[in-house]
């Protein structure tokens, strides 16, 4: 069975960036839609489903942060931020709004392609393991987390998590009973080796608890260990 190509929405007000990104992603076999402002991005996302959104922060009118916030109100589609500003604060703001990765301009096409492939792979649940090598689902507190399917359920109800929320829950459940610091969660769950601002973990934990509660699970499954970090009780 032939899989349909991934659909990618690219949002940037610079024609040169749109052309560069679109041309190279199409060469990789992706279906690419390009728009130049936030309103057009939201209309496109409402009109059809996308597998990934590549979103510039500095847009005319509604900026990329606001576009991401509005997208997150209705979809868990992975979001890759593009920005000419490469400060830790910019990255933290993007992560707290629900973005899944951040790429500073100027960037090379190989780096962009690698980020795109990684985000699509994580969102689809493809881990790169061989057939028969999938890890069995993890079960804690009535929550069943299937990393191969990239799904978390409570008593059969799907918990609607973004890729980054899923990775956070997966990391905590893999280490059930163990307290993980915010630094550890940044590194192990998300692969952020050099981000020192750890409050973004707190923001994502709050969202994760809200979504656990919405699915009927106990939000207290993710416990705060004051002064250190978080734990999922075994």
**CATH number for the domain including 181?**
1.10.10.10
Boundaries of domain holding 153: 138-232
| Same-domain status, 199 and 118 | no
Give the bridge partners for 139, in sequence order. Answer: 144
Contact, 119 vs 163, CB < 8 A?
Answer: yes
Residue 18 has pLDDT above 80, yes or no: yes
Query: In this structure, are 77 and 49 located in the same domain?
Result: yes
Q: Is residue 221 situated within a structural domain? A: yes
Q: Report d(CA 22, CA 27) in Å as an integer.
A: 9
Report pTM. Answer: 0.62
Question: Are 118 and 171 part of one and the same domain?
Answer: no
Q: Among the three residues 124, 150, 171, which one is the final residue of a domain in this structure?
A: 124
Q: What percent of the chain has pLDDT over 90?
A: 52
Q: 57-61, 186-190, 213-217 — which is least confidently predicted?
A: 186-190
Question: For residues 71 and 35, is the Cβ–Cβ distance under 8 A?
Answer: no
Using the 3D structure, point to which of 124, 151, 167 is the last residue of a domain. 124
Last residue within a domain, chosen from 102, 124, 146: 124
Task: Yes or no: say if 111 and 102 are a contact pair by the CB < 8 Å rule.
Answer: no
Count of structural domains, the chain = 2
Confirm whether 108 is domain-assigned: yes
Burial class (CB within 10 angstroms; exposed 0-12, middle 13-18, buried 19+) of 102: buried
pLDDT digits (tens, 9 = 90+) for 110-164: 888 888 988 888 777 644 434 344 568 899 999 999 987 778 999 999 998 887 8
Q: 93 and 143 share a domain?
A: no
pLDDT at 55 over 70: yes
Share of residues in the chain with pLDDT > 70 (%): 88
Enumerate the H helices of 125-198 as residue ranges.
163-174, 182-190
């Amino acid at each position: 069975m032939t899989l349909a190509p991934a659909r990618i929405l690219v949002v940037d007000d610079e024609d040169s960036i749109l052309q560069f990104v679109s041309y190279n992603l199409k060469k990789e076999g992706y279906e690419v839609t390009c728009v130049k402002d936030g309103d057009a991005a939201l209309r496109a996302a409402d009109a059809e489903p996308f597998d990934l959104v590549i979103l510039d922060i500095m847009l005319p009118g509604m900026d990329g942060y606001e576009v991401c916030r509005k997208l997150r109100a209705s979809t868990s589609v992975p979001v890759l931020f593009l920005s000419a500003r490469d400060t830790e604060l910019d990255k933290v703001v993007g992560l707290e709004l629900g973005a899944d990765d951040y790429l500073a301009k100027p960037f090379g096409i190989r780096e962009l392609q690698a980020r795109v492939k990684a985000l699509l792979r994580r969102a689809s649940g493809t881990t790169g393991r061989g057939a028969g090598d999938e890890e069995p689902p993890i079960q804690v507190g009535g929550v069943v987390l299937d990393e191969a399917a990239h799904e978390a359920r409570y008593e059969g109800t799907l918990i609607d998590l973004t890729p980054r929320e899923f990775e956070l829950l997966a990391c905590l459940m893999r280490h059930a009973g163990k307290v993980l610091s915010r630094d550890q969660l940044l590194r192990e769950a998300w692969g952020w080796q050099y981000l020192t601002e750890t409050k973004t973990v707190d923001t994502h934990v709050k969202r994760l608890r809200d979504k656990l509660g919405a699915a009927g699970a106990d939000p207290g499954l993710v416990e705060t260990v004051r002064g250190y970090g978080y734990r999922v009780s075994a």
